[in-house]
Chain A
Amino acid sequence: MRRTASLTVLALVGILLASMVCSITIGPASMSLSSLFALPNAWTIFWEVRLPRVIAVVLVGCALAVAGTAMQGLFRNSMADPYIIGTSSGGALGATLSIVFFAGIGRPIFAFIGATAATFTVYTIARQGGKVPVETLLLSGVALSMLLSAFLSFLMYTAGRSLHQIMFWLMGGFWNVSWDDVIIAILIPVGCLVIYFYARDINIISLGEEDAIHLGVNVERLKQLLLFVSAFLAGIAVSIAGAIGFIGLITPHVMRLIVGPDHRILLPAAALAGGILLLWSDTLARTFAGDMPVGIITACFGAPFFMYLLRSRMRA
């Protein structure tokens, strides 16, 4: 099992690198790697457009997947995800606040504050006597998400922004990405690393909070730390690309089936798979769908997957 798991992670690294190379060459203006240095135009597209975009997409995918994995372990259920429990819409609202009132200054910080506030709000509402039941978690997450999205739309609309911009924050997209965003995205691996340090603790807390205390985990501190870092990751992701759904839901789930539930393997596997999944979704969006919000594509396969999970959960 350990061996297959490590091999899977290696394979994912390979697939991710290949996908990045592949994605760079695909686009409205298709180009081959050899043409890069021949045509000045190709170099500009590569350096100014495709490369920062591909890097940002992969890192955002990692961030969402790692945040989702940590939340699923923490809440002991495989239906938690930063988008579903309202973290992303909190981040999106924070980002739009900075855009509407401060001309976009400190956008990632606002996004992070919004994401953290939303996460802790949902967590507090959903918590009943020390437990976080799935139903209340999902429902309060959805309710808060709707409320925050309404605020966001109201703000943007009254500030005279276009519907296209509102859509960007609600559904997510990468068409504005520049190297500045990539620089912010460097924080993502840092956050992922912090969570990885606590991989064994996540394994233990996924057995239940009381068991975790019995096994020597400082549960309250761990919960705060995980929620905080997950909100940090989701906040950065949102400030770069808006609220993209379902990456954090699907990748941990599928990877758990392949490499097992041990977070020491699961976290890196999910991070890589999140990058790959979002990269191909974005490539699809910009190449064949006139650069529509990538969240439309992730929702197209993510929402049915979510329904399938709900269904199988009810049967169990």
Chain B
Amino acid sequence: MKPVEVIGIDVSYGAKKVLEAISLNAERGEILGIIGPNGAGKTTLIKAMSRIVAPEGGEIRLNDRSLDSLSFREMAQQIAVVPQGTSISFDYSVRDIVMMGRHPYIGRLSSGTARDLEICEGAMRLANVAHLADSSVNEISGGERQRVLIARALAQEPKILLLDEATSNLDISHRIEILNIIKGLTDAVTVVSVFHDLNLAAYYCDRLIMLKERRVFAVGEPADVLTREAIHEVYGIDVLVKTHPLTGKPYILPVYGHAPGHQPQGGVHVICGGGTGSDLLYALHREGFRVSAGVLNLMDTDYTTATELGIPCISEAPFAAISAGARADLRQHIGSARAVIVTAMPIGPGNIENIRILEDYRDKPIIFLCGGGSRAFQDHTGGEAGAIIRRLLDRGAVRVERVEEVLRILRAAD
């Protein structure tokens, strides 16, 4: 017996199909996230599950009973919905609004028992609005009003809680506060929630359902659903999927899109390391340059960046010196590049070969990117690295401070 089972529902608004063959189920006590781009049908799915819209085909079952067989009262005792926000026309007090959550339990001629009041006070404490009980709902802030709606839903003592982007109008602190409250409820309540923010979805949800154009695209644990490929396919954007260092959950970083316009000619090779080249690699990639990087150690931050951006990268095992094979690759990349850029990495015996090799290319434009001030090009080679750099600069290599200057030089040469 599942708390919520949606079996192959179709929903249309007039002639327009909004959901097609949607099936899902929520397990007891889990948070199930619904994600997908605008217009994919997320909100409609919540509306179908709370009987605001009627599906044409398929069935929705709550604890093994068909949704249609329940009266509105019975449904409201099982399911509570927290909407995106409600504009309330009249000046009800917070307590009045939360008490409305008891409506499905109170008879027509009664106005509620002491127990109803108690549950209502408890719900207000849980949603942290007890201190606002006597304020008018129109005098409190948007975040507080949203918490009032959560308290109202809790007063319904639901077995299933549906949230339709219940936090998307709030600032980040209120979002986290409210989602933490909701996560704390899952001993007793099954939660199905629409999320716009993929990172919040990844952290708070046990499972995700990703919708694409009216249909289910993927279902599963956040790490399985939120892949770079799936997000590219569904949202049409390029992202990096990392692991959040503290939570261990997937963390999505958008790659803010390629600049439109012409494709720059020729390749650029970047010699970097220790994270000094990441922003340059990203900028070059974004601008559409054909970029290569290396030689880098496999553990290097710049190596991770390069591989995530899909930039070809010559690599060496951690802490190993540059081998003959890598050196040959490096020569090949430098040979075919129209320019070489060296970022302000620390230089030691392990990577000095990277710049030593540059002395062999007399006509190749070389740019030193020195951002990082006095810590740029820390020399751990007893002066050899410094001497090489000085010789290269004397021979006409350019020294710049910022990534933008590198891009300007490369564009000017186009």
Does A pair with B? yes
Residues of chain A touching chain B, judged by Cβ–Cβ distance below 8 Å, are 1, 73, 76-78, 197-198, 200-201, 203-204, 206-208, 210-211, 213-219, 256, 260-262, 264
**Cβ contact of B52, chosen from A210, A217, A218, A261, cutoff 8 A:** A210
* A200 CB contacts on chain B under 8 angstroms: 103, 106, 108, 111
B300 to chain A, nearest CB (A): 53
User: A215 and B156: CB pair below 8 A?
Assistant: yes
**Cβ contact of B104, chosen from A207, A215, A219, cutoff 8 A:** A215
Interface residue? B81 (CB, 8 A): yes
Within B39-87, the residues touching A (CB, 8 Å) are 47, 50-52, 71-77, 79-81, 83, 86-87
Name the residue of chain B whose CB is nearest to the CB of A201. Answer: B103
User: A217 and B89: CB pair below 8 A?
Assistant: no
User: B76 and A215: CB pair below 8 A?
Assistant: yes
Within B101-140, the residues touching A (CB, 8 Å) are 101, 103-104, 106, 108-109, 111, 134
**Cβ contact of B93, chosen from A1, A73, A76, cutoff 8 A:** A1
**Cβ contact of A213, chosen from B52, B88, B91, cutoff 8 A:** B52
Residues 148-159 of B, flagged 1 when their CB comes within 8 A of A and 0 if not, give 000010001000
A121 to chain B, nearest CB (A): 23
A100 to B100, CA, bound (A): 49
Name the residue of chain A whose CB is nearest to the CB of B78. Answer: A216
User: A261 and B50: CB pair below 8 A?
Assistant: no
A77-B89, A78-B90, A215-B104 are known contacts; what are 9 more A-B pairs with Cβ within 8 Å?
Answer: A1-B134, A76-B89, A201-B103, A203-B96, A211-B86, A214-B50, A216-B73, A216-B76, A216-B104
Interface residue? B361 (CB, 8 A): no
A256 to B89, CA, bound (A): 12
B169 to chain A, nearest CB (A): 16
Residues of chain B touching chain A, judged by Cβ–Cβ distance below 8 Å, are 47, 50-52, 71-77, 79-81, 83, 86-93, 96-97, 100-101, 103-104, 106, 108-109, 111, 134, 152, 156
User: B93 and A203: CB pair below 8 A?
Assistant: no
A207 to chain B, nearest CB (A): 6
User: A216 and B75: CB pair below 8 A?
Assistant: yes
**Cβ contact of B72, chosen from A206, A216, A261, A262, cutoff 8 A:** A216
**Cβ contact of A264, chosen from B74, B76, B111, cutoff 8 A:** B111
User: B88 and A207: CB pair below 8 A?
Assistant: yes
**Cβ contact of B109, chosen from A197, A219, A261, cutoff 8 A:** A197
Name the residue of chain B whose CB is nearest to the CB of A221. Answer: B72
**Cβ contact of B96, chosen from A210, A214, A215, A262, cutoff 8 A:** A262
* B87 CB contacts on chain A under 8 angstroms: 208
User: A215 and B101: CB pair below 8 A?
Assistant: yes
User: A217 and B103: CB pair below 8 A?
Assistant: yes
A200 to B134, CA, bound (A): 19
A186 to chain B, nearest CB (A): 23
* B74 CB contacts on chain A under 8 angstroms: 216
A313 to chain B, nearest CB (A): 11
Name the residue of chain B whose CB is nearest to the CB of A262. Answer: B96
A230 to B266, CA, bound (A): 78
**Cβ contact of B90, chosen from A197, A211, A215, A261, cutoff 8 A:** A261
User: A206 and B104: CB pair below 8 A?
Assistant: no
A1 to B136, CA, bound (A): 12
* B103 CB contacts on chain A under 8 angstroms: 200-201, 204, 215-217
B325 to chain A, nearest CB (A): 66
User: B51 and A78: CB pair below 8 A?
Assistant: no
User: A261 and B75: CB pair below 8 A?
Assistant: no
**Cβ contact of B91, chosen from A203, A261, A264, cutoff 8 A:** A261
A211 to B47, CA, bound (A): 11
A130 to chain B, nearest CB (A): 9
B60 to chain A, nearest CB (A): 14
Residue from B79, B80, B89, B90 with most neighbouring chain A CB atoms (10 Å): B90
A203 to B99, CA, bound (A): 11
User: B89 and A215: CB pair below 8 A?
Assistant: no
A261 to B72, CA, bound (A): 24
* B86 CB contacts on chain A under 8 angstroms: 207-208, 211
User: B89 and A206: CB pair below 8 A?
Assistant: yes
Q: A1-B93, A256-B90, A261-B92 are in contact. Are A213 and B73 (CB under 8 A)?
A: no
A77 to B90, CA, bound (A): 8
A176 to chain B, nearest CB (A): 38
A268 to chain B, nearest CB (A): 14
A203 to B73, CA, bound (A): 16
* B100 CB contacts on chain A under 8 angstroms: 203-204, 207, 215
Name the residue of chain A whose CB is nearest to the CB of B149. Answer: A211
The 4 closest A-B pairs by CB, nearest first: A216-B76, A216-B104, A261-B90, A214-B81
B44 to chain A, nearest CB (A): 12
A279 to chain B, nearest CB (A): 27
A115 to chain B, nearest CB (A): 25
A225 to chain B, nearest CB (A): 13
A213 to B81, CA, bound (A): 10
A204 to chain B, nearest CB (A): 5
User: B108 and A197: CB pair below 8 A?
Assistant: yes
User: B51 and A213: CB pair below 8 A?
Assistant: yes
A200 to B79, CA, bound (A): 20
A78 to B89, CA, bound (A): 9
* A73 CB contacts on chain B under 8 angstroms: 90
Name the residue of chain A whose CB is nearest to the CB of B76. Answer: A216
* A210 CB contacts on chain B under 8 angstroms: 47, 52, 81, 83
B262 to chain A, nearest CB (A): 46
Name the residue of chain B whose CB is nearest to the CB of A263. Answer: B90
Residue from A207, A210, A256 with most neighbouring chain B CB atoms (10 Å): A207
B241 to chain A, nearest CB (A): 35
A73 to B101, CA, bound (A): 18
A216 to B90, CA, bound (A): 20
A20 to chain B, nearest CB (A): 29
* A197 CB contacts on chain B under 8 angstroms: 108-109
